[in-house]
Structure 1
Amino acid sequence: MPVEMTILENQYDEQSLSDSDIDMDMEEEHDYTEFPKKLVHSGVDLINDWEQHNLASEGEFYLDALEELPEQEEAEEEQDKERVIMHDLHSPIASNFPNFSQKNYVSVFEGLALSTILEEVYLQLEILGHSFPGQIVTPEESDFLTYDERFSSEVEDKDLDYMPRLKNFKNPFVIDETQIGTPEERMAKKLQKDRAFLQELLRLARKEIDESRTFESLKDNVTREDGRRHEEITLMEREKNAVMAVTKMRQKIVDFKAQMKRDEHKRLEMINHLKDQLHEAKQQGKQDARYTRAWYEARNAHNFAELSHRTEIAQLRNKALEVDMTRDKLAHSNIQSWYDLIFEETQQRLDKWKTKFEDDMEIIDKKIRDQNDVIRAQQSLMESLNNTIAERMVELGPWEEEKDAERHNKADYFRLYYNARKIQRWWRSYMTRHNLYKKKKGKKGKKD
């Protein structure tokens, strides 16, 4: 069913912002299968808002152009206005989402997260398609990836009537190469991502070969990336062909209007020439009915030609709108495939996280069991050591008592010895002070 939306529906209150903040902390518990679906719904809302805004802008340009038509084309102006409004309300992208509802709106932060994920996925899709020598996108070829130059510089310089100006219109689903950096920087980034992808692929292959002696994951990853590359090349070719078709149609319109202006200029010159001749004839009194008849015939021919040219321009403009609708349908299919790819990769990443968590838990449980075994062994060893020490203490009790007795006897002996030495020193000092020592008298006599 058609989706009726306005720009004001995209306003969010503070409660919705606070309730829908994204918390990607892996330590907390989350429902990982619900988050990608929520992002897809937010992407649908952003796409509908973008489409309505751009279509409304196109309608304003068409209305501004139609206001310059003469009064005889007011009916055509009302028809164009109704057609633009109906195209806005029944857009091909909005009509392909029958399950849309207002409750699927999410916060601005989740919309920004979705845009970031889309950019990362798009850059990942460019790995095999743009990194190899035969698939490098040059700055000249990157012009087909943008919608900035909807008209040539010649058309923009000329103030053509009834020409909608879409200079500021951009396709948000195609990366603007001019906003990323120089070609060397972009190539360096792509090569760095390719190197990281190949390193991860080699690591997984080595791990699988070491564990199971197979390399099925290497085959699967290479096959998947090859499929992505072919799919990306196909999408780029379709987008390129669509843009080239629109460009050719625009160029045809420009050439046709230029030819119309040249013919109109010639007719105006002829009319002015006839007017001058008629004025001269009136002044000179030589008025002739054939000049008046020729002037009326030229004016009628000019009006008829102008009306036919405007009709043909309106037909070409309708054809261009049909081409734009076809391009929008193609963009919708591309977006849907991108959403499927995002959901698939997110599910695979969640499966890897769950598998890794289970493996880590098994390793931790094994370490805990081993540590418990070591603790129990140490406890048994400590118990045996305590028992041995108690037995040795019982055995060494008499020996310790005997050694203590010997130490006490030796201490008593040395105490008596030190006291005797003190008394002896006192006695010697006393005898020396009182000069009580008897001098030994030697034998007097002559020496032989």
Structure 2
Amino acid sequence: MSDEESLEVNITSNETKQLESLLEQTLNQLYIARQVAIQETSHLDNTDREIIQNDYKTAITIFEELKNEISQHSTFNSLVNFVEQKEEGTHELNRAKLKAKQTQHTLKVLKNEIAVEKNKINEETQALNVQLGMLKDQYQDELWEQGVKLRYSTDWLQAQSKQHEIQLEKNAHDLKNQVDQLEKTLEQEHRVHDELEDFYSMKLGEYIQQLVYWVDKYEHDKNDYDQRIATIKSEHANLLERMTAAKELYASRQAEITAYEEIKEKRRLEEIHLAHLNANATKIQAWWRGMMVRCKLGPYKVKKSKGKGKNKNK
């Protein structure tokens, strides 16, 4: 039986109502948190605000789909699909790291080109200054109008040179900001990847422990049943003369064993169902903690500095 089939069969109506109530509370908290985030991020640029709003929108959409699916089908398919998409995001992170390395290399090449271009402009500026000095010496006896034109040319060349320098510094600053933003994004994605990897390792260890437990339990129960069968055969051989009474006694004992096995099987299915619910609940909690860290909610919320707020009011 697959995970989807087990969810559809084992979730009771009471559990479905409890999950719907919990999801409804979570959605209300997300709506409130989104409104607060919109107000608190008004000082950020459009890109950062869109990232935060998209994160809230994604979380709200996932919980709404999960709530509808639980109420209609009593399954977690939408949440399972979302977790699988997050695993694909790990591969995207690796590709982003490679792209960051390429960006760093490109930045280094651009810095070298900027330095060469700056040196070239400085050499041209120095050459122009020398030429201007020579022109001043050669035409110092010319009319005042020629002197004004010469000064105008000198100022224009210096302004052009200054404009080139300012443009180069601005381009270098923009590239540096882009690299810093990529480094922050990679650091955040790497932290999320480490948390998911630790969670998967923990769950794998739990599944292995459960597998060992059930194998040992099967061997123990099998030996117990073998001993009971041997005892019943021995009693049957010794009480052959009382065949009628022995058959009635055997039928009674067999009914007890059957009832015991049914009760035991029912308990085993309940334990498997409870373990499955706990595993899914753990996944939801881990995902929610990751969302709180990325969206800076609850204990991860960034506190405002009181000093900066006073300066702004002044």
- Bigger CA radius of gyration: 1
Name the TM tier (shorter chain). 0.3 to 0.5
Q: TM-score, normalised by structure 2?
A: 0.34
> Which is helix-richer, 1 or 2?
2
